Amino acid sequence: MNLDLEGGRKLATEICAMIKEKPLSELPGSPEVAFFPPFVFITEVLKASEGAADVSVGSQNIHQLEKGAYTGEVAAAMVKSCGATYTLIGHSERRAYFNEDDALLAKKVEQALNNGLTPVFCCGEVLPEREAGNHFKVVKEQIEKGLFWLEKDPFEKVVIAYEPVWAIGTGVTASPAQAQEMHAFIRQIMAEKYGKGTAESVSVLYGGSCNAQNANELFSQPDVDGGLIGGASLKAADFFSIISSF
């Protein structure tokens, strides 16, 4: 909940102008970019990104049911019908402030996939869990309950975002070694469940105070495939610098 319509449109337009000038396919790593605006701005952000290749739009959330009388909620099919192709699922703020637990998030994953949206499934431990040495266990459980009920084919459509909660919006980034360690662990549990090929093909993003200064070192880690950027995405130049950091 950061910008209004005009601010969101301006930000997306500025970033897309940079991308049109320097196409993503010509940047190191040929990254893909997806914007995740609030529901009400999805259509406008899509319009602002017209003509910018490899840029897509997603929602920050969806409801866990297909349709019905749930006043105020937004279904995956509605998001899809606006032209969005991604949705975040289980961002730590949804887990913490809206009581979204793993069982509910599994239903949201199902809705996303049923409606042709790519779920970006967020996982990550809170500080006391890391301090107690439980971070691997916590992340494994979130992924097992949220995603590992999927068959191999639909699982391959998922993107995972590891976001240690203590790093989100705090300015405290996980060190590249901490990020790599967890990403390698996520890769390993995916390989155990679905095989090495699937584990290699699923993107695992890092999120949590990723910025123009630290992106390159984070993205250089072998198992860090990209980033989920919050605060630093609100400044077009910073965001463009991050997507140029592969």
DSSP per-residue codes, 150-175: S-HHHHTT-EEEE--GGGTTTS-PPP
Q: Does position 31 bind ligand PGA by CB under 6 A?
A: no
Q: CA–CA separation, 26 vs 33, rounded Å?
A: 13
Q: One symbol per residue from 191 to 220: x for binding ligand PGA (CB under 6 A), - otherwise; what is it?
A: ----------------xxxx----------
Q: Does position 229 bind ligand PGA by CB under 6 A?
A: yes
Q: One symbol per residue from 136 to 175: x for binding ligand PGA (CB under 6 A), - otherwise; what is it?
A: ---------------------------x----xx------
Q: CA–CA separation, 94 vs 115, rounded Å?
A: 21
How far apart, in Å, are the Cα atoms of 214 and each of 24, 29, 73, 136? 20, 17, 36, 23
Helices (H), the chain: 5-21, 42-48, 76-81, 92-97, 102-114, 127-131, 135-146, 152-155, 176-194, 196-201, 215-219, 236-243
Range in contact with ligand PGA (rule: CB under 6 A) among 51-59, 101-109, 192-200, 228-236: 228-236
How far apart, in Å, are the Cα atoms of 95 and each of 136, 152, 205, 241? 18, 26, 18, 30
The single-letter DSSP state of residue 117 is: P
The residue annotated as part of the active site, out of 63, 91, 135, 183, is: 91
Our answer to whether residue 163 is catalytic in this structure is: yes
Q: Smallest gap, in angstroms, from Cβ of residue 165 to ligand PGA?
A: 10
Q: Does position 230 bind ligand PGA by CB under 6 A?
A: yes
Q: How many CB atoms are closer than 10 A to CB 162?
A: 29
Q: Which residue number is nearest to ligand PGA in terms of Cβ?
A: 230
Which one, 182 or 232, has the nearer CB to ligand PGA?
232
Range in contact with ligand PGA (rule: CB under 6 A) among 11-19, 125-133, 197-205, 226-234: 226-234
3-state secondary structure of 125: coil
Q: Smallest gap, in angstroms, from Cβ of residue 172 to ligand PGA?
A: 9
Our answer to whether residue 91 is catalytic in this structure is: yes
Positions annotated as catalytic residues are 91, 163
Binding site for ligand PGA (CB under 6 A): 163, 168-169, 207-210, 228-232
